[in-house]
Amino acid sequence: MRSPSPAAQRRLLIAVVVLAVLQGGALASVETDDAYTVLRYAKNLVDHGELTYNLGERICALTSPLHALLVAALYRLTGGLILVNKALGLACTLAAALALALPLRRQPVALLVALALFAASPFVLFWTFGGLETPLLAALLTALAAFAVADLRVPPDHPGRAAIPFALGGLAIATRLDASTFVVPLLLGLALRQRSGPAPWRRLPLALVAAAAPPLAWLAFADRYYGHLLPTSFYVKTPRLEPLWVLANTTHMMELVLVSGLAFVYGAAFVLAAARPSARAAWRDHFRERAWLYAGLVGAVAYGLVAATTHLFYAFRLFVPILGPAALLAADLVARIIDADAPAPAPAPASEFAPGPASRVFCSLAAVVLALQLLSFIHILPPGGNLEGARSGEMRVLGVADANQWARRFAEPADTIRRHWQAQPASARRPARIHTFAVGALAFALPEALVYEEHVRYRHACRPSLGELAAASDYVCVLSPALEEPELGLDRMTLLFEAEGWLAGSPRHYRVYFNPHPGPPILPPRIDGACEVTAPAP
């Protein structure tokens, strides 16, 4: 069996690019309701000088501070939000692909494997345009891994060289605090490795400052501005250690390893190692030199055991940012096995397993990974598809088309509510109060309203019931049928808007009710405040 020709490798690279472009074109219009939360924070910061969801209420429901600040800066410069945010996501994914390519530029087959695993993934491309922090975090973590493994032609004892991956790690944690589960073990390994090098006192202090400064700066700001360090999602969706929950998350992560193609790459490397001593030596060198990067993956997997299928982590959102480092690790192993591969001196007996040149095996495997990515893309795209890409998770009967449709539908009653509220005498004195189940699109379309969803209404010492909150609201949004409907007192309200659609395989009714006699507001403007009034349930 001959090694793949340069022409064959070029054709495969073209296939990677074409598949990525086709998927990107189909997914460029993706809308996720949560993305509008970030946009609302960014808009309020620029337009009103408040990094808040509701004006006047210093509650941090923001899980991605660095992303929100970047979007705000771009909004200030361009005046755009939605398209600018999508452009930022695309730029970050391209940067992550470039970070993958640089350390593998002299290993074309390994580069093909890495790009097939990452750049052609429909889950990476879905979140590229999904509007959340995922592509930014993916770019930072992939660049961190690439800078750490690549020869940057900077002396290894140069303080600036040592600080680069640490600075990227600090920015990653400032992007999403739970990125620390990947970053901290990785940087600890790097710090230990650098401590054993020449003149560590010159390199480590600057590196540690570079890592600590971004997250500590944010935490200090959050404590002073909001009065709490962690976003409300930490309290609303606290990780759980329940056995069945951990089992479900474990299954979900195993499915990701399979559908992403990582299982096939490592499986082929294992088979080659079983057949050839040179491949076994490549495995040993790979794990010895990249142990610190695997430590980061272990940290991310450990967090995944308690969080992988948490609400709104669909389409492998929690793990897309570490697909870049995982692809780089897999490609590094592939490159080592190919380098160690040597032609056998004589044909192997027919009874023995004798694969062809490793480069040929992995080039063929890259084509298999591309086929897997295409199947996943076909699986997630249509109405009634499976946006999870797996048999576990909350979006198993919801496709990209459905997600887009519902994100737009959630914003549909905005004009109706605005016109209706302007006709109410109370509109001259205060903004409308809206009780809802969805945090993003409707609130973004009504920037002047006070909107309360699970994450935004959380308070440490004020826990009114849903009925009490509805009674104090002017408008109540419901996705019917819903378990909480009986306690909302909807029979005392007027139906203002209704739309019907299919969600998760069943018909649902999106309804907005007007409360003609709302009680006084209950929630305090800060997370640690006491309830302003105690309103009886309707």
Same-domain check for residues 114 and 256: yes
Same-domain check for residues 69 and 194: yes
What's the CA angle centered on 103, arms 22 and 288, to 5 degrees?
A: 120
- How buried is 175 (Cβ within 10 angstroms: 0-12 exposed, 13-18 middle, 19+ buried)? buried
In a domain, 332, yes or no: yes
**What crossing angle do the helices spanning 159-175 and 200-225 adopt, rounded to 10°?**
20
How far is it, in rounded angstroms, from Cα 527 to Cα 518?
Answer: 23
Over residues 414-429, the pLDDT tens digits come to 999 999 999 999 999 9
How far is it, in rounded angstroms, from Cα 9 to Cα 14?
Answer: 9
How far is it, in rounded angstroms, from Cα 84 to Cα 82?
Answer: 5
In a domain, 166, yes or no: yes
Query: What is the reported pLDDT for 127?
Result: 98
- Model confidence at 204, in pLDDT bands (50, 70, 90)? confident
Same-domain check for residues 288 and 243: yes
Does 462 have pLDDT greater than 70? yes
Please answer whether residues 208 and 190 qualify as being in contact, where contact means their C-beta atoms are separated by less than 8 angstroms: no
Which of 331, 365, 380 corresponds to the end of one domain? 380
pTM: predicted TM-score of the whole model, two decimal places: 0.93
The total of other beta-carbon atoms located within 10 Å of residue 234's CB is 16
Over residues 436-460, the pLDDT tens digits come to 999 899 999 999 999 999 999 999 9
In a domain, 55, yes or no: no
Same-domain check for residues 408 and 376: no
CATH code of 455's domain? 3.40.190
In a domain, 48, yes or no: no
Residue carrying structure tokens 């190692």: 273
How far is it, in rounded angstroms, from Cα 254 to Cα 319?
Answer: 12
Q: What percent of the chain has pLDDT over 90?
A: 77
Same-domain check for residues 284 and 414: no
Query: What is the reported pLDDT for 205?
Result: 83
Residue 145's domain comprises 6-30+63-225+235-344+351-380
Same-domain check for residues 491 and 436: yes
Same-domain check for residues 209 and 287: yes
Does 69 have pLDDT greater than 50? yes
* 3-state SS string for 78-147: HCCCHHHHHHHHHHHHHHHHHHHHHHHCCCHHHHHHHHHHCCCCHHHHHHHCCCCCHHHHHHHHHHHHHH
CA dihedral 8, 12, 14, 16 (to 10 degrees): -170
- How buried is 90 (Cβ within 10 angstroms: 0-12 exposed, 13-18 middle, 19+ buried)? middle
- The residue-averaged pLDDT of 87-103 equals 97
Taking each continuous run of H as one helix and of E as one strand, the counts in the chain are 21, 5
Same-domain check for residues 367 and 412: no
- The residue-averaged pLDDT of 18-36 equals 96
In sequence order, which residues have a C-beta less than 8 Å from that of residue 349 and are 6 or more positions away? Answer: none
Please answer whether residues 387 and 395 qualify as being in contact, where contact means their C-beta atoms are separated by less than 8 angstroms: yes
- The residue-averaged pLDDT of 289-305 equals 94
- The residue-averaged pLDDT of 105-120 equals 95
Mean pLDDT across the chain, nearest whole number? 91
Does 159 have pLDDT greater than 50? yes
In a domain, 307, yes or no: yes
Query: What is the reported pLDDT for 396?
Result: 86
Please tell me the total count of domains within the chain.
2
In a domain, 40, yes or no: no
Same-domain check for residues 362 and 427: no
In a domain, 50, yes or no: no
Query: What is the reported pLDDT for 354?
Result: 40
Over residues 211-264, the pLDDT tens digits come to 999 999 999 999 999 999 999 999 998 888 899 999 999 999 999 999 999 999
Same-domain check for residues 426 and 472: yes
The total of other beta-carbon atoms located within 10 Å of residue 130's CB is 25
- The residue-averaged pLDDT of 176-203 equals 80
Same-domain check for residues 161 and 310: yes
In a domain, 154, yes or no: yes
Query: What is the reported pLDDT for 14?
Result: 96
Same-domain check for residues 220 and 71: yes
Number of residues in the chain: 538
Provide the pairing of β-strand 475-480 with 450-452: unpaired
